[in-house]
Structure 1
Amino acid sequence: MSAPHRVPAVRDLRLVLPTLALYATVAATAGARPAAAAAVAVVLAASAAASTWWAVALRGGGHERAALGLLSLACVLGAVGAGTQAARAHVLVAHPLVEHVGGRTGVEAEVTGFDRPVRGGGVMVPVRVEVTGSGASARAAAIDTVLLAREGWRGLPPGTGFRATVQVLEPRSAGEVPAIRALGPPRLTGAPGLTGTVPAAVRERMRVVSARALDGEAAGLLPSLVLGDEGEVSPETREEFRASGLTHLAAVSGANTTYVVGAVLLAAAALGAGRRGRIAAAVVALGGFVAVVGPEPAVLRAAGTGVIGLAALGAHRTGRPLAALAGVVLLVSLLDPPTATGAGFVLSVTATAALIVAARPVSVLLRGRGLPVPAADVLAVCVVAHLATLPVLVLSGLGSGPWALPANVAVAPVVPVVTVLGTAAATLGPVWEGGAVLLARACGPALWWLETVAGVASGLPGSPPPPSPGGAR
């Protein structure tokens, strides 16, 4: 008989309200001028001081004093968040790259993630610009941005250093870091380390495995859905996935780690492993997942939130995992506000919070209907994570079009299959290509269903039309 699912204790949720206040402040001041964000910080700091004075002056009233203390903490964190945004906006305004918006300059930079195709041709490469300008005008100041290019930039592993002449593009909105466009091929200055070469080798082998195991568009879709490698997916298929609201499946999220590590936990339990053995297997699986996909910020973010969600499945209380999730959100909001307010992070946090609150009760309900425990756990994870993230997809524009919701519901049962088997194939590919081919081939029916849903949904009335030529920035 399973242990009862306990509601969160109040003490377990003390961090949630202040974290929400911090996040709301960071989101509200994103793109604000430094002076405006600083003014918000001052107002919140004054509110924190007032509520603290009130709490100290209050006689008796333990609950009232505790509430005022919680309000003070929320205002303090909000003030810190607004102050962080003010400092970031000031640094951005003063960065040498911003001075060259609309013009050309030389840069020294490092690749921080794998390239992705963009509409209209070419690729988008995440980079960290470390030096702007050349010769006597060179100024050292680090900033993360994206580089748009066409020739010679595909396949550079993370960690590769380079010099290039670039055009600095106008930001799309206030407070956004300007993107850069390469005006020629890179001049390499540094080789990537193991954290870049190992995932790059895995990607290359995965393309070979997929080509051997699958036909047509499925051969390019599998690396895209498992590793985020969209290089072999045709523009037509990418547009079908965009129009049907399924583009987000090519981005690594907390759901990916949940499916992979969850499958390992279930396999370990089926083999009779004890609690420590299951935890050890989950840790190894998580480390392997990061090594295979690559230690990009999005992957590390997904790994962190995915682990918290899985912890909730084995916990009898939801409060502690919620507190841990709130701690992750708090740290990311303070250290990296652009990531915190990005759609990818919101999706991961939403999926994880849903798993913490609802996955175990749904699993218990399914067991009561006669479903075996492992199957009930897996199905609960899939259903809860997908249903919770669908509204976020629609509101963020990732699930664009009127058919995004039914399309995502239709593919929900097969996404975990592709994720788990595909990740296993990517892991096995460098050491046993034949076994990886068998695993990739087993993904064929699920990939066919994904293609079919995307094709049908994108052709229905009201679906977004393909972008006009030259629509990419």
Structure 2
Amino acid sequence: MVVPTLALFVTTAVTVGMRPAAAAALGVVLLVAAVIAVLWSGEAGAHNRVDHTALGVLAMACTLGAVGAGVQAARSHALAAHPLVSLVGTRTGVEGVVTGFDRPVRSGGVMVPFRVEATGSGESVRAAELDVVVLAREGWRGLPPGTRVRASVAVLEPLSSGDPPGLRALTPPRLTGEPGPAGRGPAAVRERLRGVSERALKGEAVGLLPSFVLGDEGGVSTETRDEFRASGLAHLAAVSGANTTYVVGAVLLAAAAMGAGRRGRIIAAGAALAGFVAVVGPEPAVLRAAGTGAIGLAALSSHRTGRPLAALAGVVLMVVMVDPVTATGAGFILSVTATAALVLAARPVAVRLRRPWIPATVADVVAVCVVAHLATLPVLVASGLETGPWALPANVAVAPAVPLVTVLGTAAAALGPVWEGGAVVLAAACAPALWWLETVAHIAAGLPGSPDPTPR
């Protein structure tokens, strides 16, 4: 599973932004290579000194690489033919659906994931789907996923070759359709958790709790976001595989303490995973986090690396096939890299760290932080995401606080809609951990060598 998946991923990454004809030609070459490997294995016979297994893996890798190149060729062709591409630098009308929750930007506006379904106005309307990001201000904040809108926009240049153009909203959105339950439910949970945080917490902690639990950064000040970025702790504000690992791990421990058997613990973990997705919202990032987090948890609780690694390869395979753009993005690569590091190295490192004066729990926490940080550091550097020399010590320092905030905060988010008083108690219990997270970020961002927290 691993080698063919790597071949598919590398081919997809290489063909991003490539002309459709060139990507298709690469796919043909890889397909021919796969056929040659199959024929060679078949003609060699069973008694010849030929590694038939290696040839089979090579054939599968080339075949998947050819599929990846073909998918990218088709995507590039569809993108080049989309009406928005020819309208870069102009104004137009768009109609479509919000596909995710908004995120704040330094300018004071928000970024809204949006699927364009029709472009133009009046008789010039052309129907064609394209996933883009809308930079907006008035009226766009807080729109639940699934909301259908129409607006006037300016079409912006793509950030890089192979990316769709961006949009800047010129008018507030005109609602043309209400979101479904999958959008209204998580939106209500977010709104209630904001209210719970305001009742239970003070200062920056009010915005930090929804940010760490749900990825809702709207209540976090620009200065605090800059400090978390400069200290290497910005990843805590994004829903990642670590969130699901902590939540599901807490449920497994609780089920074991109650005497549940193996089947009962698995059922409880599955229910917790489904509940986490329902509370946070079934966005692509959340679903990816659920998959990678579950695999990471399986790796930490298992003495075998083969099955979790194969499962991780399967997740990567599906994401690359379904959504090549997301699969080659920094966020997904960071999640996969960290999970692979946990699968391969977290347990051996933890075993080596254990000493009579170092408890097993402490060794496990330090091993997870060190392995994940060292594995993702090259990705952070290659993607241009700044991380200073104090990122590793900062992540180790906050490691005990992160699971507490994640588990109690997620429980508060789930409890808020049905019992606000209980949710307030759980949120208030997060106050010391949130204070520690904010303090570590502030200190690390101010140490010598840390990147400038204020982007130029």
TM range (shorter): over 0.9
1:204 is displaced (CA, Å) by 0.8
Q: What residue identity is the alignment partner of 2:116?
A: V
Task: Give the counterpart of 2:78 among 91, 101, 116.
Answer: 91
Q: What residue identity is the alignment partner of 1:104?
A: R
Q: What is the aligned partner in structure 2 of residue 154 from structure 1?
A: 141
- Asked if the contact 1:262/1:378 (under 8 Å) is kept, the reply is no
Q: What is the aligned partner in structure 2 of residue 55 from structure 1?
A: 41
Matches within 5 A, 1:11-26: 15-26=1-12
Distance 2:450 2:232 in 1: 9
- Asked if the contact 2:44/2:50 (under 8 Å) is kept, the reply is no
Q: Per-residue CA shift, 1:91-143, capped at 9, x if unaligned?
A: 10101111111111111110111001001110000011111112221111111
Matches within 5 A, 1:238-249: 238-249=225-236
Matches within 5 A, 1:216-235: 216-235=203-222
Question: Aligned pair 1:304/2:291, yes or no?
Answer: yes
1:388 is displaced (CA, Å) by 3.9
SS in 1 for 2:114: strand
Structure 2: runs of 5 or more not aligned? none
Q: What is the aligned partner in structure 1 of residue 157 from structure 2?
A: 170
Distance 2:90 2:404 in 1: 48
Matches within 5 A, 1:115-194: 115-194=102-181
Deviates more, 1:44-53 or 1:397-406: 397-406
Distance 2:381 2:274 in 1: 32
Q: What is the aligned partner in structure 1 of residue 445 from structure 2?
A: 458
Question: Aligned pair 1:196/2:183, yes or no?
Answer: yes
Q: What residue identity is the alignment partner of 1:38?
A: A
SS in 1 for 2:113: strand
Distance 2:453 2:354 in 1: 45
Distance 1:217 1:392 in 2: 30
Q: What is the aligned partner in structure 2 of residue 7 from structure 1?
A: none
Structure 1: runs of 5 or more not aligned? 1-14
1:304 is displaced (CA, Å) by 1.3
Q: Per-residue CA shift, 1:65-106, capped at 9, x if unaligned?
A: 221221111111111111111111111010111111111111
Task: Give the counterpart of 2:98 among 111, 115, 122.
Answer: 111
Q: What is the aligned partner in structure 1 of residue 51 from structure 2?
A: 64
SS in 1 for 2:115: strand
* Residue 451 to residue 374, structure 1, CA distance change in 2 (3 Å): closer
1:280 is displaced (CA, Å) by 1.2
Distance 2:445 2:54 in 1: 50
Q: What is the aligned partner in structure 2 of residue 76 from structure 1?
A: 63
Q: What is the aligned partner in structure 2 of residue 46 from structure 1?
A: 32
- Asked if the contact 1:248/1:398 (under 8 Å) is kept, the reply is no
Question: Aligned pair 1:331/2:335, yes or no?
Answer: no
Distance 1:140 1:415 in 2: 45
Q: What residue identity is the alignment partner of 2:70?
A: G
Q: Per-residue CA shift, 1:1-31, capped at 9, x if unaligned?
A: xxxxxxxxxxxxxx11111111111111112
Distance 2:92 2:306 in 1: 51
* Residue 378 to residue 281, structure 1, CA distance change in 2 (3 Å): farther
Q: What is the aligned partner in structure 2 of residue 33 from structure 1?
A: 19
- Asked if the contact 2:27/2:70 (under 8 Å) is kept, the reply is yes
Q: What residue identity is the alignment partner of 1:129?
A: V
Q: What is the aligned partner in structure 1 of residue 269 from structure 2?
A: 282
Distance 1:348 1:356 in 2: 12
Q: Per-residue CA shift, 1:207-248, capped at 9, x if unaligned?
A: 111111111111111111111111111111111112222222
Distance 2:254 2:370 in 1: 20
1:390 is displaced (CA, Å) by 4.4
1:255 is displaced (CA, Å) by 1.1
The two structures have a TM-score, normalised by structure 1, of 0.90
The two structures have a TM-score, normalised by structure 2, of 0.93
Q: What is the aligned partner in structure 1 of residue 308 from structure 2?
A: 321
Q: Per-residue CA shift, 1:120-173, capped at 9, x if unaligned?
A: 110000011111112221111111111000111111000000000111100111
Q: Per-residue CA shift, 1:254-287, capped at 9, x if unaligned?
A: 1110111011101111111111111111111111
Q: What residue identity is the alignment partner of 2:21?
A: A
Deviates more, 1:380-389 or 1:227-236: 380-389
SS in 1 for 2:335: helix
Deviates more, 1:54-63 or 1:303-312: 54-63
Q: What is the aligned partner in structure 2 of residue 427 from structure 1?
A: 414
Count residues with an aligned counterpart. 455
The alignment yields a C-alpha RMSD, in angstroms, of 2.3
SS in 2 for 1:155: coil
Distance 2:441 2:388 in 1: 12
1:448 is displaced (CA, Å) by 1.5
* Residue 466 to residue 311, structure 1, CA distance change in 2 (3 Å): closer
SS in 1 for 2:51: helix
SS in 2 for 1:66: helix
- More RCO (CA 8 Å, sep 6+): 1
Distance 1:422 1:47 in 2: 52
Deviates more, 1:180-189 or 1:404-413: 404-413
* Residue 421 to residue 258, structure 1, CA distance change in 2 (3 Å): same
Task: Give the counterpart of 1:411 among 376, 398, 420.
Answer: 398
1:61 is displaced (CA, Å) by 3.3
Q: Per-residue CA shift, 1:412-441, capped at 9, x if unaligned?
A: 332222111111111111122222222212
Distance 1:397 1:411 in 2: 24
Distance 1:467 1:35 in 2: 43
Distance 2:203 2:185 in 1: 27
* Residue 463 to residue 370, structure 1, CA distance change in 2 (3 Å): closer
* Residue 417 to residue 455, structure 1, CA distance change in 2 (3 Å): same
Distance 1:154 1:33 in 2: 36
* Residue 360 to residue 116, structure 1, CA distance change in 2 (3 Å): same
